[in-house]
Amino acid sequence: MKTEITCHDISVLGEISGQLIKAYPEQRVFAFYGAMGAGKTTFIQAICKYLGVIDTVSSPTFSLVNEYRTSEGEPVYHFDFYRINNIAEAMDIGYEHYFFSTRYCFIEWPENIAELLPENCVYVEIKESGNGAERIIRF
């Protein structure tokens, strides 16, 4: 199944988040592709809100992974591999503990750890369109 949505305004990201999660009810690992400034972190923030995350969601650029909690105490993991120097760094943080935990994992810059992504990973692409305010989201 392939979905493409044009997002004209940030206010509809909550609705798009619901569509994404509902489209893949069994999957827990989501890889977000897009240029710098495309809106990966913003979309992940909307998804976390949709899932009931009560913590502040921000990019884990320097820590590689942030852990958030939902209102029911369930963990959600958010990765940013932009600054990773080699695959060993992902191995050092114990990526398999997260990716195979049955918890939601949202990964920015997954191309930097492509060989570690699980087979059932959902690929999400975000591209700027039009005047720069619109985004095309594919999953």
Which candidate, 89, 108, 86, places its Cα nearest to that of 41?
108
Domain that holds residue 40: 4-138
Q: Which residues does residue 31 pair with via DSSP β-bridges, in sequence order?
A: 107, 123
Cα separation, 66 vs 26, in Å, equals: 22
CB 58 within 8 A of CB 50: no
pLDDT tens, position by position, 97-115: 999 999 999 999 999 999 9
Looking at residue 81, which CATH number applies to its domain?
A: 3.40.50.300
Task: Give residue for tokens 């994992």.
Answer: 105
| 1: pLDDT strictly greater than 80 | no
pLDDT at residue 133 in the model: 79
CB 7 within 8 A of CB 13: yes
Task: Using the Cα atoms of residue 57, residue 58, residue 59 and residue 62 in order, give the sign of their dihedral.
Answer: negative
Task: Give residue for tokens 């989201």.
Answer: 137
| 69: pLDDT strictly greater than 80 | yes
Please indicate, yes or no, whether the overall pTM of this predicted structure exceeds 0.75. Answer: yes
Q: At 113, is the secondary structure helix, strand, or coil?
A: helix
The total of structural domains in the chain comes to: 1
The percent of residues in the chain predicted with pLDDT above 70, rounded, is: 99
